[in-house]
Amino acid sequence: MPCPFPAPELQRSQTSPTVLPDLYTPRHLKTPPDTSRQLKTTQDISRYLQTSPNASRQLQTSPDISRLIQEDPDISRRMADSTALSASSSSSNSSSLKGFMSSALELIYWRETLKSAAGFGLSLLVLVSLATLSVISVVSYLTLALLCVTITFRVYKSVVQAVRKSDDGHPFKSLLERDVCVTPESSRWAADQVRVHLNRLLVHTRRLLLVEDLVDSLKLAGGMWLMTYIGAVFNGITVLILADIICFTSPLVYQKYKTQIDRRVELARSKLKETVDRLQDMLPGSIKRTKAA
pLDDT tens digits, one per residue of 125-146: 999 988 888 999 999 999 999 9
Give me the pLDDT at residue 18, please: 42
* Distances 205 to 46, 212, 216, 236 between C-alpha atoms, Å: 48, 10, 11, 22
Neighbours of 73 (CB within 10 A): 9
Mean pLDDT of 208-229: 90
Rounded-to-integer distance, Cα 284 and Cα 278, Å: 12
> For residue range 236-256, what is the model confidence (pLDDT) as tens digits?
888 899 999 999 998 888 888
Residue type, 293: A
Rounded-to-integer distance, Cα 22 and Cα 33, Å: 14
Give me the pLDDT at residue 93, please: 59
Considering only CA atoms, give the Rg of the chain.
32
Can you give the pTM of this predicted structure?
Answer: 0.55
Give me the pLDDT at residue 224, please: 94
Rounded-to-integer distance, Cα 132 and Cα 126, Å: 10
Give me the pLDDT at residue 245, please: 92
Give the H/E segment covering residue 226: helix 214-233
Rounded-to-integer distance, Cα 45 and Cα 59, Å: 9
Contact of 97 with 218, CB cutoff 8 Å:
no
Closest-CA residue to 40 (of 4, 8, 67): 67
Mean pLDDT of 252-275: 88
Rounded-to-integer distance, Cα 206 and Cα 202, Å: 6
Rounded-to-integer distance, Cα 268 and Cα 246, Å: 20
SS3 181: coil
> For residue range 187-208, what is the model confidence (pLDDT) as tens digits?
898 899 999 999 999 999 999 9
Give me the pLDDT at residue 143, please: 94
Residue type, 258: K
Give me the pLDDT at residue 42, please: 52
> For residue range 144-193, what is the model confidence (pLDDT) as tens digits?
999 999 999 999 999 998 888 888 888 888 888 888 888 888 889 889 99
Cα angle, residue 235 at apex, residues 127 and 128 outer, rounded to 5° = 20
Q: How far apart are the first and last CA of the chain?
A: 84
Contact of 120 with 216, CB cutoff 8 Å:
no
Cα angle, residue 101 at apex, residues 97 and 107 outer, rounded to 5° = 145
Contact of 64 with 45, CB cutoff 8 Å:
no
Which residues lie below 8 Å from residue 22, measured CB to CB, with a gap of 6+?
30
